[in-house]
Amino acid sequence: MKVQVRGLHKRFGKTVAVDNFTFSFDNGHVFGFVGPNGAGKTTTMRVIATLEEPTEGDVLINGISVREEPEYARRSVGYVPDSLPAHNDVTVHEYLDFYARAYGLQGAKRREAVGAVEEFTGVTGILNKHLKALSKGMKQRVTLGRALIHNPDVLILDEPAAGLDPRARVELRELLMVLATQNKAILISSHILTELTEICNGVVIVERGKLLESGTVADVLKKSTPHRAFAIRVLGEASTLVKELLQTPHVINAREVGGEVLLELEGEESAGCELLSALVGKGFKIAEFKQSKANLEDIFMNVTKGGVQ
Amino acid sequence: MNLPTLTNWRTWEPNPIVVKELRQAVRSWAITGMMLAFLTILFFVTVGFLLGQSFNVNPNQALGRDIFQVFLPILSVVGFFFIPIYVGGRLTAERQEGNVDMLYITTLSPARIIRGKLFCGIYILVLFFSVVAPFMVFTNLLRGIDLPTVFVLLTIAFLLSVLSLQAAIFLSCLPASKGLKILVGVPAGIFMMSLVGMMTAMSVDMMREGIGSRLGTWTFWGPTLSALFIGLLLFGFLHLAAIALISPASANRALPLRAYTTVAWLLTLVVAIGLAVENSSAEPVGIWAGLVTAAMILALVISVSEGDDQSIRIRRTIPTNSLKRAGAFFFYSGSAGGLAWTVLLGLATLLLNIVVFEGGLLESVTGHWTGMTGRHIYHPSDEITVTFSSLFLYALAYSLFGLFIHRRFQRHRAPIFAGLCSVALPALWAIVPNLVLFFVNQLSWDALQERQLGNVFNVFALKDHSFVFDHFFCAVFLVAIGAALNLRWFHRQLLAFQPAARPAVKSPSTFPEQ
């Protein structure tokens, strides 16, 4: 199952919400969809979920166009919107049962699917509660259950962690990690980038309706942060080390921060080893030498310029 | 349709929408409250009448009829107004962009969704009718009304309620904002209320004469079957239109509607001619022509609002055979095909009008059927053909102008702009000259009834009916200009109506049907 977003444009009157987005993700990929408010994330997700029609371009889900054959494309997609249902006249079980029927599941197959989803999302204890009476975390689980009821290959989650308490967030993250192991193609948007870092192996960065970067985290990282960052703790005067580093070729921007020396280094991974051996050779007593790993937050800050439309 | 049969009854399951809607309806305060209020009103009305009667020295020989006359409007308000608003309101809420219920991205087909909503509404209607039926049958025991009248009036009220329900569902599916829907819904609501008034007035008339004695006569069944036929046609159209409105934009949404309208056009024509021969009057054909002209004018506005783009999905289904393709052109989504279809049907109507009103078709048909030659057929008006033709041609001309303005000057706007232009242009042409007359102090009733060529509304208010011929020639002239302006576009559309090749990617047909 492959999701290909091709030259996607979406305009609302004169407002360009999505301007020529092109990216793709595959089975087993968990792609983080990040960008400030108004960047076009929700619109893109709604197009993939067949809720909106693109102005131009298309999205192919395993080769099926959401523009031309939305009825068929939507069989493979489960969508979790950024707001939650709050019916006071429908119980959790009835809600899931209805969607199972709506997706054409019948008889024992339906009961089995509903039971499996209820168990997976951990809502078995609240089946007879009305949706309005549920906490946000539980509503999110029910919504996720609804999106999974027909066992879709593609899962689109729009801000699933928004407004959840820390425990609910951790539980949701665990559910998503399990889903990722089930070989589903997952696109997830969130403002909490640290959370995405833990589960995503790919990223799409958008801002003001424009796509800035997309690809695996490693690829985007390479593109967005060409220099390697290191932190060195030295026994003795750190300022001497800073002076030495600033005179060393390929070292840029060395500075002392809280007893550590932070520096950026040009070149391949071996450049770090060479620097370390050179410093030791010059008599510096190196207590700690570590490479700082950039995360989604760093990538996001590097790539975006800030501002909303 | 998903109905239980002898082979699938063990595994058959009802429409999911019906299950969901009814689950929610039984817990809804709107339905429960309305039911309780309804029962309370029925109870107090009955008790009030019976108590009032007990203080009267002379027994009221028509007490049952008096009570029935109060029950029927109450039931009509519920059936024509409350239940359609309840069902339509829920559907409107579900169609809102921010709705979290992802009903429209499930694999439920648009037809099943609309049917589900309709069946749910009908179920609630049956619930209310079954509540009121015992009260209404009870009125028969109090004299003044016979049982057949009770049942016939209940049936009429039920059928009109179903029609109102379908109309409400159609309005809810319109791709418009909440405000615009309310704007359309208010006149629709007023119409529903007037329907309650009409129903009450009709029931008074029926109860006075009694239906029981007329059940075996054509004077009862003729108008009843005609009304039922028209109601069914309207119901079918609204049902198909609602399905088309929630179908994906890439689907050929025009096909079922145009095919249905063509069949309805033919059926109504046969019925109108039959009625005309039966009554020795061309009036039914005149009414038919008037209604068809109105429908065709509406179809013109819709057609020009469709736009030129045909999705790959539609183009893949265009027949490769040139003869079949020529036929398909009239029934496929797109402004050009829509215009061609409407013009074809409009011209056929015009031709039939000429044959009926000028060519003596009815006289010869009557002679053929009855074997009586020279039988006189009443013709309502001499100018009926030219009046309806002028109206249609004006509408066609303005639609062509709207299309041209959109294509040439406002291409970046949505295709509905062409439709809006085709409505705005005749409205402006009708208002602006009269406004000028008003400001130069020349506006009078006489001036309004003068020849105002190009003014569609002027056709209805001419002091001299012969002026209508001037309107006809003016409309023909305007159509000629409109056609010239759009000829190249139409030719391009005609050439572009070609089947698209199927891509090599996985085809939807490989998916199992759910």
The string of pLDDT tens digits covering residues B151-194 is 888 899 999 999 999 999 999 998 877 777 777 778 888 887 88
> Each residue of B98-137: pLDDT tens digit?
666 677 788 888 999 999 999 999 999 999 999 888 888 8
Q: Output the CA torsion B161→B164→B165→B171 (10° steps).
A: -170
pLDDT for the residue numbered B405: 95
Instruction: Select from B9, B86, B100, B104 the residue whose CB has the most chain A CBs within 10 Å, as the one to mutate to test that interface.
Output: B100
pLDDT for the residue numbered A51: 87
Q: Please tell me if residue B103 touches chain A, with a CB cutoff of 8 Å.
A: yes
pTM of the model: 0.82
Task: Quote the CA–CA distance of B477 and B387 in Å, as a whole number.
Answer: 16
Q: Which two tokens stand for residue A266?
A: 């040009």
User: Is A53–B19 a contact, with Cβ atoms under 8 angstroms apart?
Assistant: no
Task: Quote the CA–CA distance of A81 and A45 in Å, as a whole number.
Answer: 9
Q: How many helices (H) and strands (E) does chain A have?
A: 11, 14
CA atoms within 13 A on the CB side of B433: 17
Measured CA angle at B448 (ends B444, B451), to 5 deg: 135
Greater model confidence, A4 or B439 = A4
CB B263 within 8 A of CB B233: no
- Binned at pLDDT 50, 70 and 90, residue B502 comes out as low
Contacts of B451 (CB under 8 A, 6+ apart): B458, B462, B467, B470, B471
Burial class (CB in 10 A: 0-12, 13-18, 19+), A23: buried
Burial class (CB in 10 A: 0-12, 13-18, 19+), B41: middle
CB A16 within 8 A of CB A9: yes
Pairing between strand A154-158 and A185-189? parallel
> Each residue of B53-71: pLDDT tens digit?
877 777 777 788 888 888 8
CA atoms within 13 A on the CB side of B377: 29
- Binned at pLDDT 50, 70 and 90, residue B282 comes out as confident
From A165, A115, A116, select the one nearest A139 (Cα to Cα): A165
Q: Residues B81-95: what's their mean pLDDT?
A: 89
**CA dist list (Å): B46 to B56, B210, B490:** 16, 22, 66
Looking at the DSSP bridge assignments, the partners of residue A186 are: A30, A155
> Each residue of B338-352: pLDDT tens digit?
999 999 999 999 888
Contacts of B311 (CB under 8 A, 6+ apart): A67, A68, B249, B250, B251
Cα distance from A238 to chain B (closest Cα, Å)? 57
Which residue among B24, B248, B508 sits closest to A64, beta carbon to beta carbon?
B508
Instruction: Select from B9, B13, B102 the residue whose CB has the most chain A CBs within 10 Å, as the one to mutate to test that interface.
Output: B102
Instruction: Please give, one letter per residue, the 3-state secondary structure of B383-443.
Output: CHHHHHHHHHHHHHHHHHHHHHHHHHHCCCCCCHHHHHHHHHHHHHHHHHHHHHHHHCCCC
Task: Quote the CA–CA distance of A156 and A160 in Å, as a whole number.
Answer: 10
User: Is B107–A74 a contact, with Cβ atoms under 8 angstroms apart?
Assistant: yes
Task: Quote the CA–CA distance of B459 and B387 in Å, as a whole number.
Answer: 7
**ipTM of the complex, rounded to two decimals:** 0.76
Pairing between strand A77-80 and A185-189? unpaired
Q: Which two tokens stand for residue B322?
A: 């040139």
User: Is A102–B250 a contact, with Cβ atoms under 8 angstroms apart?
Assistant: no
- Binned at pLDDT 50, 70 and 90, residue B301 comes out as very high
**Which residue's structure tokens are 């959401």?**
A66
State residue A101 phi and psi, 5-degree precision.
-65, -45
Q: Please tell me if residue B315 touches chain A, with a CB cutoff of 8 Å.
A: no
**CA dist list (Å): A93 to A50, A114, A129:** 26, 8, 8
Instruction: Select from A98, A106, A144, A154 the residue whose CB has the most chain B CBs within 10 Å, as the one to mutate to test that interface.
Output: A98
Which residue among A53, A87, A107 sits closest to B249, beta carbon to beta carbon?
A53
Contacts of A226 (CB under 8 A, 6+ apart): A266
Task: Quote the CA–CA distance of B224 and B234 in Å, as a whole number.
Answer: 15
User: Which H/E stretch holds residue B319?
Assistant: none
- Domain at A2-221: CATH architecture: 3-Layer(aba) Sandwich (3.40)
- Give residue A204's identity as a one-letter amino acid code: V
- Binned at pLDDT 50, 70 and 90, residue B382 comes out as low
3-state secondary structure of B168: helix
Cα distance from A239 to chain B (closest Cα, Å)? 58
Q: How many residues does chain A have?
A: 309
Chain B residue numbers touching A84 (CB-CB < 8 A): 100
Task: Quote the CA–CA distance of B300 and B314 in Å, as a whole number.
Answer: 21
- Binned at pLDDT 50, 70 and 90, residue B336 comes out as very high
Q: Please tell me if residue B141 touches chain A, with a CB cutoff of 8 Å.
A: no
Cα distance from A146 to chain B (closest Cα, Å)? 9
Greater model confidence, B312 or B35 = B35
User: Which H/E stretch holds residue A15?
Assistant: strand A15-26
Task: Quote the CA–CA distance of B29 and B27 in Å, as a whole number.
Answer: 6
**CA dist list (Å): B169 to B173, B196, B235, B243, B255:** 6, 19, 11, 10, 20
Task: Quote the CA–CA distance of A215 and A224 in Å, as a whole number.
Answer: 12
**CA dist list (Å): A282 to A242, A266, A272, B40:** 13, 21, 15, 99
**Is it the case that residue B20 has pLDDT exceeding 70?**
yes
- Which segments in chain A show pLDDT lower than 70? 1, 225-226, 293-294, 305-309
State residue B39 phi and psi, 5-degree precision.
-65, -40
* CATH 3.30.70.100, chain A: domain bounds: 226-292
CATH of A226-292, one of 3.20.10.10, 3.30.70.100, 3.90.950.10, 3.40.50.720: 3.30.70.100
* CATH 3.40.50.300, chain A: domain bounds: 2-221
CB B209 within 8 A of CB B153: no
CB B206 within 8 A of CB B149: yes
pLDDT for the residue numbered B448: 74
Cα distance from A113 to chain B (closest Cα, Å)? 15
Q: Where are the domains of chain B?
A: 13-247, 275-499
User: Which H/E stretch holds residue B217?
Assistant: none
- Measured in whole angstroms, how far is the alpha carbon of residue A291 from the centre of its chain? 24
| Average pLDDT of chain B, as a whole number | 85
